[in-house]
Copies of this chain bind each other. A is one copy, B any other.
Amino acid sequence: MQTFTATRISIIAERLIQDGVVRIMEEAGATGYSFFEGGGKGGHGFHPTHRPSIVEDFAIVKIEAIVSSRAVAEQIAEQVAAAYFGDQSAVMYLHEVEVLRPEKF
């Protein structure tokens, strides 16, 4: 089976930034994205400086995209960081994956 390397970029953040992250992804050239709602807590990006002694879980969303171009992945990462890392409201990670159809991403 022949596979091709692509980059998966995932952002876990409060839901209010979802539209902004998606816009960055689309403008950078991602052909699509998906998102999954969940919860999270702690210094994982969610209000760590205002953390009370007992913290409620925050409603979060994981937004992810797969792009075949490393340059596109980096553009997304840099723009998300510039737009949303100041208020500590996002966790982001990248890793390589294998895909079968590179022209799709």
Residue ranges of A at the interface with B (Cβ–Cβ < 8 Å) = 1, 3, 6, 8, 12, 22, 26, 30-46, 48, 60, 62, 65-66, 74, 77-78, 81, 85, 91-101, 104
Contact = CB atoms under 8 A, between A and B. Distances in A.
Contacts of A32: 40-46, 48, 91
Contacts of A104: 43, 45, 91
Q: Report the copy number of this chain in the oligomer.
A: 3
28 contacts: A1-B74, A3-B94, A8-B95, A26-B42, A30-B42, A30-B44, A32-B41, A32-B44, A32-B45, A32-B46, A32-B48, A33-B44, A34-B39, A34-B40, A34-B62, A34-B91, A35-B39, A35-B40, A37-B38, A44-B65, A81-B101, A91-B104, A92-B99, A93-B99, A94-B97, A95-B95, A95-B97, A95-B98
